[in-house]
Structure 1
């Protein structure tokens, strides 16, 4: 599909005056990372991610059609909306939502005809290195698509998901990987059938049983907001001295991990996933200006994982998002032994001993209105 396929050309507002819709949309964790993008939200390299389950954003979009006079005013001001997060009004979130609406208006031109109230809440700490913008923007995109489907009931489920992923990407790049699951590829890659820079696609090949219901325990080393946003981090890749080689490395790793996910080679999986995590942070530490999002306890956890793996031959490994928190990945078959290790050796490195037990999920779900 191409960009023009997502432009809504005809719609009828006569029978749609008010309503609400709620979506529960998971976060995701990239195995092969993307770091660096072009406008508008086009990745410099392909990425592949596990869709999570317990880490999600729950978003309700309440909509009311504006009367003609208010609609004209809204047209001048572009959009009419309020946003609430965790039950509190958040005017400081408005610029990001305004930018998102501005980017997607071409594809969903009915936005200016409605007054919106957006209510969101997370099951995990906001802006701490779990992909909160991915689940948040993904959920909002799905809510908007539900409104579009009301205007166009003949829409197919495939088109609905593709366009939701396309729109979510324009709010937060990785949001396009949160619509479906369990494994999503984003970015055009010659060896991944159907892959695109415009939206995420389900991993198109058979996934080995070793990687089904994979576990992800997230150790919350730092629940505070990151010192450097991902948006700023991506921008620093423009003049990065190692950027081109990194983009090539990531695309090569997509080829490698595609075979691993089909063969079930857990040892090779560990090598590539941990290398990707450390490379992501190496790019941050070698940008100009440079920055470090890992904390001392992040490194202590990594060393404990390495020691435990060496002693037990466990298939435990780690990955990192753009933050200090550590995602501990392991097969479901090792759940008991790894959970005991986490409780005895790792949680004291977490802020207030906080951690989240998660696993791989199947993607977003619409929540019925009460």
Structure 2
């Protein structure tokens, strides 16, 4: 049976607390089967599956103090220790979205201090890691107010809340590989939260992700606008069916260790995502000339060496280079020799599959 939304409404507290501090880190993630297009309340139009990263993460400290009156939401926001007023509307909107599920939020004044382990201007999406880290802190407060909640409920509701801040944030809470979106072949999968993929073959343990920073500027079309353009898209329904089929295929691939199959589905999904952008109305292109140069060089290198390195893309120009740990030295040498010149200021970040959010 699917879990209904009202399961996540906090209804009773058995403890009280005046003040305190929590701190969590939450990682970014990279989707292998992409979601593009969403319905009301951050519900995905199709399911997705992602690798959780390890090094690219947001660290958020939440200090809270009981207020004399509940009034409205009350919070200060710091980014890397300094006030960040332009982030506040997004946090305000997030708190408004989750208030029905967390009615204790107006009882406290919060000081949210957040920082990323990667440069904010790197072009790596920080909304997933940021909202996941904030959701973990809020659930730590809820656990203090109601110590009876189980660990499973704690993480599931954290993923549910994170989704309401940024859809893909629900995939940054728990697990090396996470599925978000209802899919008939994935047990307990849900549109409301991410679930940990249960059985990952040894071939995909410690899988590497080197992120090539092709363009660190702001995207000319935001992901939110891009998702909305799937309404009325001429190929939307076919794309949603394809995503279900590709997730079925990726399930088998991750279970049986089929790296060749992984390469095909992962690269096809990346290109399909950008094809949806190029065929929407209005149409747009987020790849840059250097993105295409890198892709072509990866293909050439793989054909010449038979080393199973592949790429995927987010909704941007940067390239995620994915490969097994046992070919790490050769791939990093290839990146140094042939790909660094296509990165802005020669910058790239080495990452690896991680395990999700962690309390600090």
Cα separation, partners in 2 of 1:328 and 1:343, compared to 1, 3 Å = same
Preserved CA contact (<8 Å) 2:14 2:147:
no
The DSSP-based 3-state class of the residue aligned with 1:112 is helix
Out of 170, 177, 180, the position equivalent to 2:171 is: 177
Deviations 1:131-176 (A, max 9, x none): 3111000000000000000101121111100000000000000000
**Which residue is 2:132 aligned to?**
138
TM-score scaled by length of structure 1: 0.95
Q: Hey, what's the Cα distance between the residues in 2 that align with 1:122 and 1:138?
A: 13
8 A Cα contact 1:28 1:131, kept in partner: no
Cα distance in 2, alignment partners of residues 232 and 240 from structure 1: 13
Cα displacement string for residues 240-289 of structure 1 (whole angstroms, at most 9, x for unaligned residues): 11111111110110001100111111111101000000110111111111
Partner of residue 283, structure 1: 276
Alignment length (residue pairs)? 358
Local SS of the residue matching 1:304? helix
**Any idea what SS the aligned residue of 1:40 has?**
helix
Question: What is the 5 A alignment of 1:176-255?
Answer: 176-204=170-198, 206-255=199-248
Structure 2 contact 49–177 (Cα < 8 Å) conserved? yes
**Given that residues 286 and 315 in structure 2 are in contact (C-alpha distance below 8 angstroms), is that contact kept between their aligned partners in structure 1?**
yes
Pairwise CA distance, 1:89? 1.3
Distance 1:226 1:125 in 2: 16
Query: C-alpha separation between the residues in 2 aligned to 1:276 and 1:102?
Result: 34
2:110 maps to 1:116: yes
Distance in 2 (CA, whole Å) between partners of 1:32 and 1:119 is 32
Query: Does the CA-based 8 Å contact 1:125-1:223 persist in structure 2?
Result: no
**Aligned partners of 2:281, 2:14: CA distance in 1, in Å?**
50
Contact kept in structure 2, 1:32 and 1:254, CA below 8 Å: yes
Contact 1:134 1:176 in 2 (8 A): yes
Tell me if structure 2 keeps the 8 A contact 1:129–1:321. no
1:49 aligns to what? 50
What's the C-alpha RMSD, in Å, of the aligned pairs? 1.1
Query: Where in structure 2 are there 5+ consecutive unaligned residues?
Result: none
Choose from 58, 80, 84 the match for 1:86: 80
1:52 to partner: Cα distance: 0.1
Q: How does 1:1-370 map to 2 (within 5 A)?
A: 1-11=3-13, 15-68=16-69, 71=70, 75=71, 78-126=72-120, 129-204=123-198, 206-367=199-360
Q: 1:129 to 1:237 in 2, by over 3 A?
A: farther
TM-score, normalised relative to structure 2? 0.97
- 1:360, CA displacement in angstroms? 0.1
